[in-house]
Structure 1
Amino acid sequence: MEALRGWLVPFLLPERCFEELVLRLHVLHVPCLKILLSKALGYGIVAGSVMVKLPQVLKVVGARSGGGLSLPAVLLELLALGGSVAYGCARAFPFSAWGEALFLLLQTLALGFLIQHFGGHTGRGVLLVAGFGVLLAALVSPHAPPGLATLLQAANLPIIILSRLLQAATNYRQGHTGQLSGVSTALLLGGALARVFTSLQETGDALLAGTFAASAACNGLLLAQLLYYGGGPRPKRD
């Protein structure tokens, strides 16, 4: 039992909930069940985030083109994700509450590089990776200004909305969704919806929950465009 306590208590349950659910077998204890569900969802989202943008990356690599993807939207998303990582670190939130932002950031950074690389600007892609690496290190540094992380998180809401609207506008202007991946977009939508619940449960932070709600709405718009346009560019008729 002590071995089970040592595994569950630090990661999935507070001590009082371990006693309620495991020792006293109060398996219908709603407050503790909500905590358990939130923790399990959080770690599941973090684990799944490692693969969320992989379909998008593979689609770009397979086509050897980032056609249809908005580079400004990718850069804005990088800024938003960097702010989320900095905010989670600064507020000492559990990794299960924000960890996916780190993995999504790394995949988005790879995507930004690939867009530049296949666009014939490999040098710019390298500078993007190096420059953002330095910026992220500065954001999570203990020497960063105390209010900077909160400011960035507050700015995430308009940044996320603007980045998704830029991509939506690109899709509308072109009349197709280019190399935009439906799988990645659907996974981002589902993850954002789940994060609204886990953010309120684990952190009680309305700012964080509101950001995820806006992200879900915007990803829903992109998914609707994917369904409407039916994917990539339509073949030209003779």
Structure 2
Amino acid sequence: METFSGLISYAQDNVLEPLVGAKCADRIAHFDLSSVDCLKLFVSKVLGLGIMAGGTIVKVPQILKITGSRSTQGLSFASYLLETAAYTISLAYNWRNGYPFGTYGEMAFINIQNLVILGLILVYSRNLFGLLAFLSLYSLSTLALFEESLINPTQLQQLFASMVAISAASKLPQIWNNWRAKSTGQLSAITTFLTFAGSAARVFTTLQEVDDVNVLVSTLVATGLNAWLAVQMLVYWRSGPSSRNLNVRDISHSPSHHSHSPGTNVPTRRSRKRRCEKRDAFID
């Protein structure tokens, strides 16, 4: 019994208190369920940690799928570029406003993975100049966002206010590509569903820990668009690339290309026989 009490005391001082504060830690450690606010805060903190942990690997399946197939077919460079821009602005805004890292920390890990994906898209398209230009511009932009002497708080607030539009724009090219091709191409199902689950959970943590309407609206918009992508993944689950994406080589080697329609002038045994009969009759 003393060992159990010691474990509870240790968890209260070293785990719960750093998460939810001394008052809520004491109530939760003594299983006081009457404080709904403390329970909500605890759930929010645990979710935040889970989202951050998931954020460290959420795009890894997508990266593995790209490197495994050596193709970025179906992936929108514009979508990943705009998503990276939106996350970078959000990181700077949250960090400079002193919001709890648990409410936005996954963006840092996702951004690193997005940079890898963007690099792979440019590498597989053999655009080395574009890769170098992108990395240079991104580095300079990130420095400006985090440095108050370069972008003041008012300007950062205005940039963050545009996050809703940027967040929407970051998903729409990918949504459009999927709809047009009736296929999700090399888009990873695991990454898509994990991203949706994480953004949905982030709505709850934002409501509990961040008193900022702009942050809440941007989170809601991102969740809605991620849900749209998840639905497309389900709808086009077994769909391959559409016929409009087939190249000339694919068409020339397809069975339908070698079959002859009724209107084609391809000689057959019967037609050759008829021509021979007509020719012999003419000679006679």
- Give the structure-2-normalised TM-score: 0.77
Whole-Å separation in 2 of the counterparts to 1:18 and 1:140: 34
Which residue in 1 is equivalent to 2:87? 81
The yes-or-no answer on 1:155 pairing with 2:188 is no
Q: Bigger shift: 30-39 or 131-140?
A: 131-140
Cα distance, 1:204 vs. partner? 2.2
Amino acid at match of 2:57: M
Which residue in 2 is equivalent to 1:222? 229
Whole-Å separation in 2 of the counterparts to 1:204 and 1:213: 14
The yes-or-no answer on 1:27 pairing with 2:33 is yes
Amino acid at match of 1:172: W
Which residue in 1 is equivalent to 2:69? 63
Note the alpha carbon deviations across 1:151-199, whole angstroms, 9 max, x for none: 2221111111122111111122223211111111111111111000100
RMSD: 1.9
Amino acid at match of 1:215: A
SS for the counterpart of 1:69 is coil
Cα distance, 1:19 vs. partner? 2.6
Whole-Å separation in 1 of the counterparts to 2:22 and 2:12: 12
Whole-Å separation in 2 of the counterparts to 1:123 and 1:110: 16
The yes-or-no answer on 1:212 pairing with 2:193 is no
SS for the counterpart of 2:79 is helix
Cα distance, 1:14 vs. partner? 1.5
Cα distance, 1:126 vs. partner? 3.0
Which residue in 2 is equivalent to 1:172? 179
The yes-or-no answer on 1:15 pairing with 2:22 is yes
Cα distance, 1:234 vs. partner? 5.7
Which residue in 2 is equivalent to 1:233? 241
Count of residues paired in the alignment? 236
Unaligned runs of 5+ residues in structure 1 are: none
- Answer yes or no: is the 8 Å Cα contact 1:186–1:223 preserved in 2: yes
Which structure has the larger Rg? 2
- The one of 170, 184, 191 aligned to 1:184: 191
Question: Percent sequence identity over matched residues?
Answer: 34
Which residue in 2 is equivalent to 1:53? 59
Whole-Å separation in 2 of the counterparts to 1:174 and 1:128: 27
Amino acid at match of 2:80: V
Cα distance, 1:4 vs. partner? 3.8
Whole-Å separation in 1 of the counterparts to 2:155 and 2:208: 24
Whole-Å separation in 1 of the counterparts to 2:212 and 2:240: 38
SS for the counterpart of 1:204 is coil
Which residue in 1 is equivalent to 2:46? 40
Cα distance, 1:76 vs. partner? 0.8
Unaligned runs of 5+ residues in structure 2 are: 1-8, 244-249, 256-284
Which residue in 2 is equivalent to 1:197? 204
Amino acid at match of 2:232: Q
Whole-Å separation in 1 of the counterparts to 2:240 and 2:230: 13
Cα distance, 1:88 vs. partner? 0.9
SS for the counterpart of 2:153 is coil
Q: Bigger shift: 73-82 or 200-209?
A: 200-209
Cα distance, 1:209 vs. partner? 1.8
- The one of 114, 120, 144 aligned to 1:108: 114
Cα distance, 1:15 vs. partner? 1.8
Amino acid at match of 1:19: D
Q: Bigger shift: 227-236 or 89-98?
A: 227-236
- Give the structure-1-normalised TM-score: 0.91
SS for the counterpart of 2:199 is helix
Whole-Å separation in 1 of the counterparts to 2:78 and 2:187: 14
- Answer yes or no: is the 8 Å Cα contact 2:74–2:177 preserved in 1: yes
- Answer yes or no: is the 8 Å Cα contact 1:80–1:152 preserved in 2: no
Q: Bigger shift: 227-236 or 132-141?
A: 227-236
Which residue in 1 is equivalent to 2:274? none
